[in-house]
Chains A and B, each alone.
Chain A
Amino acid sequence: MSSSALLSQIMPILIFVALLLAIIGAVRRALLWSQGQKSTIHWSGILAVPRRYLVDLHHVVARDKYMSNTHVATAGGFVLTALLVIAVYLFDIAAQILNYMLLASTMLMFIGSVFVLKRRKNPPANLSLGPWSRLPKSLLIFSSSFFFLTLPASGLLSDLVPELFSSNIAENIAGNIAGWLMAVVLIAGIIWGLGEMFFGMTWGGPMKHAFAGALHLGLHRRQTRFGGGQSTGLFAIDLAEDKLGVEKPEDFKWNQLLSFDACVECGRCEKACPAFAAGQPLNPKKLIQDMVVGMAGGSDAKFAGSPYPGIEIGTHKGGAIIPIVNGLVEADTLWSCTTCRACVQECPMMIEHVDAIVDMRRFETLEKGQTPGKGSEILENLIATDNPNGFAPASRMNWAADQNLAVLGQDVEKADVLLWIGDAAFDMRNQRTLRAMIKLLRAAKVDFAVLGEQECDSGDLARRLGDEATFQRLAKTNIALMSKYQFSTIVTADPHAFHCLKNEYRDFGGQYHVQHHSGFFADLVKKGAIKLQANKALSLTYHDPCYLGRYNGEYDAPRYLLQAMGIQIKEMERSQTIARCCGGGGGAPVTDIPGKQRIPDMRMADAKETQAEIVAVACPQCSLMLEGVVEPRPEVKDIAELMLDALVEDSTNE
């Protein structure tokens, strides 16, 4: 039997075995996911996978052009190759065109793999090593093996070197030996290649991301985030359940477990994470990988990326029915997160890190009562006084004693605009912003009113600290209160309240038209209701609040307003979608997990780099965090304050 005959006989068996093993692995993996809790299965999503892959996923990948092109070549080449290999070698469809296509696809894949290998030469710190360093080699072997396997069949080679591959090659002993040798090498390469690409795909190799990722894209828990949509509100939980929040990996929803398997360990989340940069013990990539370890059982020793800052790799283990916190993951890791969503924004696989973190925080707070730092005090205050710092609810309107505000239910029953005050009512710094807003609203002759003393905290902080019970109580109280009055729009200066009112009250029957003050004022300026002086040449940079930008996609309105004041914004390197958090979200200032440096200091350093003299903010939390940075530093001013400075008073008023 000739070597080529052997090859053609052995190929279908090899591919069949690889596919069979892959299917067994897939079932095994699916069983792992099915340990999770029930969740709606969005079957229709499966059909949308190609579109989501090509549009949504590549939209994220394309932020790194090099990687995007590399991935198109490699992944496209691989998908084509895999399909063609099955057609040609398993089903033995002998169409010459397929051979040519196969050659082309392996070539494409090979080229892509070369670039993958090149990138792996001096890998940046955010990339994982270990099996992920093996992958480019496997890709090269897979593609080259099938290239050389297909080469003779395509007949291209026989034209070039007929004496070597001619039919009477058996008479050439030397050639025979070379042929056998080549066959053995090819078979070895193919076994390696198939092993990595087919077997490894479902048995936990790096290629797992392709299999789990495709399913994850289809069955994603947030179907509406694809196709340009947005879905950032946290999921509500039923407070009557026997267990609140996630204690063990099996307590996650099954599609969350699936999402963890989709991780490609690209480390973009790690690069974006402010807590990681500040040296707090959080690395979103490691967290997701730990969840994978937890789901399958084992230790984190095999993780080949950056550790949680300050925590050694290999010291933690877990399993599907073993509590996560303090076995697999330290509690401090969960509490370091500022819920800024930078990781989610950057994740090409659309993994929802923040959801997972908040789910685990919920168990810590609602079941264990272990909210760290001042968390428990803050939550107690929210329960007893409806504001995080325990001020008398009756003093909520003290700041506005001189403002003569119309209070719904007392002075008026309806208004065009409900001005949501939020926690700034108790903070002297942010009262300045509120006063500026009120002057602007009056200048624009907007009919507005406030809820007065009856307004409660939006519940944002309680929810991010895991206290879903308090959040739901506050949300329901606020919704019941607002249902008594008529208004068309809610306007607030607090992006956190904005996000809650807009996206999270919906689950409890509160559907509102909510605008952040920047958006609302931008409309007023466009309409000409507010006129701004355009002669100021301020040296200014703008800091995007996470809950306005990443959570609600509002990047333009604040910039429009600043430009309307004639300001040339000196953008920071990290702005808009990749803006760095001020460190004030998610209860991070409350839990206060120690790190090497503080997040607001890092953000202020970003601002200083632009040489700006003013940092414009659009969030009371950001203004507090950034003003907390030791001077000398740029001045921190809210957009409303800047607008008030530039306001052209309408003389027809008097």
Chain B
Amino acid sequence: MTNNNLSVISLISIGEHPTSRRPRRAEQDARAVELGLKLAGERLKALYAGTIESPSIEVALRSYLGMGLAEINILNLSDPADATLALAEHLKAERPDMILTGVRAENGESSGMMPYLLAEQLGMSVITSIVEVSSIDKVTQQAEVLQALPRGQRRKLKIKLPFIASVDMAADAPRQSAYGPAMRGKLVMNQLSVQVEDTLRSKWQINEGQKRPKRLKIVKAKTAADRFKAATAKVEGGSGKIVHGSSESAKEILKMLIDEGVL
């Protein structure tokens, strides 16, 4: 489904691989591009605000071009700058019907605030975690979208154009990035009207993510014996319960299913 007079912009960022920490195509942003390509085809515009200092960042940025974009517009910001203002200025001029982006970035603060802040500044509606845009009605200025809920459930929503939507990981996986088009696509530098430094961030202390301790089952035991029991009881993990016989087994399984609340 490609709509001929629909203008869609996908906002893209540089992701970061969870294990190697190398720059890459961000998974959610790539899904936003994928969704945009399905909606607007070749007329999809991609916009990136950030630094392109290192070659590895350029390679990562080009991997979006490899999905079939002809060009990427770049707002070249130095690192601690606030991307929202620059984006908002640029988008005000563009006036797109739809802005697609990932739910949150893969590096930096990754607060997931970007779509909300842009919506506020541009006066657009905002919607989060969509997986699909099922229809767009330019006459009534409404679009029908599917929103991801936990465990694969979906909610159908109608939303007024223009709007900003963040695309969930449950959306269609992005198409493969092809090397040839990626290298031949254009990176278009745009003029920056504003560049505001993110001063708050410089006060933060950023560390490697600590492993969160698993919450223990707290036993508010009143007696020493209870506390002792709680401390020494076999921790979950050893081999589980084994049952024989089909009716016994079925009963036990049912019990577990009900306990876990999946039925």
Q: Which residues of B contact A369 (CB under 8 A)?
A: 66-68, 175-178, 181
Q: Indicate if the CB atoms of A370 and B176 lie closer than 8 Å.
A: yes
Query: Looking at the complex, which one of A239, A368, A386, A391 makes contact with B183 (CB distance below 8 Å)?
Result: A239
Q: Indicate if the CB atoms of B178 and A365 lie closer than 8 Å.
A: yes
Q: Indicate if the CB atoms of A467 and B20 lie closer than 8 Å.
A: no
Q: Which residues of A contact B180 (CB under 8 A)?
A: 243-244, 366-367
Q: Which residue of B lies closest to A385 (CB)?
A: B20
Q: Indicate if the CB atoms of A384 and B17 lie closer than 8 Å.
A: yes
Q: Indicate if the CB atoms of A367 and B20 lie closer than 8 Å.
A: no
Q: Indicate if the CB atoms of A384 and B176 lie closer than 8 Å.
A: no
Query: Looking at the complex, which one of B19, B66, B176, B181 makes contact with A371 (CB distance below 8 Å)?
Result: B176
* Among B20, B67, B183, residue most surrounded by chain A Cβ atoms (within 10 Å): B20
Q: Which residues of A contact B183 (CB under 8 A)?
A: 239
Q: Indicate if the CB atoms of B19 and A366 lie closer than 8 Å.
A: no
- How many Å lie between the Cα of A393 and that of B19 in the bound state? 7
- How many Å lie between the Cα of A375 and that of B17 in the bound state? 18
Q: Which residues of B contact A392 (CB under 8 A)?
A: 19-20
Q: Indicate if the CB atoms of B181 and A385 lie closer than 8 Å.
A: no
Q: Within B144-181, which residues are at the interface with A (CB < 8 Å)?
A: 175-181
Q: Within A250-272, which residues are at the interface with B (CB < 8 Å)?
A: none
- How many Å lie between the Cα of A150 and that of B171 in the bound state? 80
Q: Which residues of B contact A470 (CB under 8 A)?
A: 179
Query: Looking at the complex, which one of A243, A375, A384 makes contact with B24 (CB distance below 8 Å)?
Result: A384
Q: Which residues of B contact A164 (CB under 8 A)?
A: none
Contact of A376 with B176 at beta-carbon distance under 8 Å, contacts A385-B19, A385-B20, A392-B19 already known? yes
Interface SS majority for chain B: loop
- How many Å lie between the Cα of A386 and that of B20 in the bound state? 9
Q: A interface, how many residues as a size bin?
A: 20 to 34
Q: Indicate if the CB atoms of A384 and B20 lie closer than 8 Å.
A: yes
A379 within 8 A of B: yes
B186 within 8 A of A: no
Minimum Cβ distance to chain B for residue A426 (Å)? 11
Q: B interface, how many residues as a size bin?
A: 10 to 19
Interface SS majority for chain A: helix
Minimum Cβ distance to chain A for residue B55 (Å)? 12
Q: Which residue of A lies closest to B24 (CB)?
A: A384
Minimum Cβ distance to chain A for residue B13 (Å)? 16
Q: Which residue of B lies closest to A379 (CB)?
A: B176
* Among A239, A375, A385, A467, residue most surrounded by chain B Cβ atoms (within 10 Å): A385
B22 within 8 A of A: yes
Query: Looking at the complex, which one of B24, B67, B181 makes contact with A367 (CB distance below 8 Å)?
Result: B181
- How many Å lie between the Cα of A244 and that of B182 in the bound state? 12
Q: Which residues of A contact B17 (CB under 8 A)?
A: 384-385, 390
Minimum Cβ distance to chain B for residue A503 (Å)? 23
Minimum Cβ distance to chain B for residue A515 (Å)? 30
A383 within 8 A of B: yes
- How many Å lie between the Cα of A6 and that of B51 in the bound state? 89
Minimum Cβ distance to chain A for residue B37 (Å)? 12
- How many Å lie between the Cα of A510 and that of B61 in the bound state? 30
A139 within 8 A of B: no
Minimum Cβ distance to chain B for residue A251 (Å)? 13
- How many Å lie between the Cα of A370 and that of B179 in the bound state? 11
Q: Which residue of A lies closest to B23 (CB)?
A: A384
- How many Å lie between the Cα of A379 and that of B179 in the bound state? 11
Contact of A383 with B19 at beta-carbon distance under 8 Å, contacts A369-B66, A376-B176 already known? no
Contact of A384 with B179 at beta-carbon distance under 8 Å, contacts A369-B66, A369-B67 already known? no
Minimum Cβ distance to chain B for residue A101 (Å)? 59
Contact of A384 with B22 at beta-carbon distance under 8 Å, contacts A369-B66, A369-B67 already known? yes
Bitwise, A367-407 to B at CB < 8 A (1) or not (0) is 11111000110011001111000111111000000000000
Bitwise, B171-200 to A at CB < 8 A (1) or not (0) is 000011111110110000000000000000
20 A-B pairs in the complex with CB atoms less than 8 angstroms apart:
A239-B183, A242-B184, A244-B179, A244-B180, A365-B178, A366-B180, A367-B178, A369-B175, A369-B181, A380-B24, A380-B176, A380-B177, A383-B24, A384-B20, A384-B24, A385-B17, A386-B20, A392-B19, A468-B179, A469-B179
Taking beta carbons and an 8 Å cutoff, which residues of A are in contact with B? 239, 242-244, 365-371, 375-376, 379-380, 383-386, 390-395, 467-470
Taking beta carbons and an 8 Å cutoff, which residues of B are in contact with A? 17, 19-20, 22, 24, 66-68, 175-181, 183-184
Given A242-B184, A369-B177, A392-B20, 11 other A-B residues pairs in contact with their CB atoms under 8 A: A239-B179, A243-B180, A367-B179, A367-B180, A369-B175, A371-B176, A380-B24, A380-B176, A385-B22, A393-B19, A468-B179
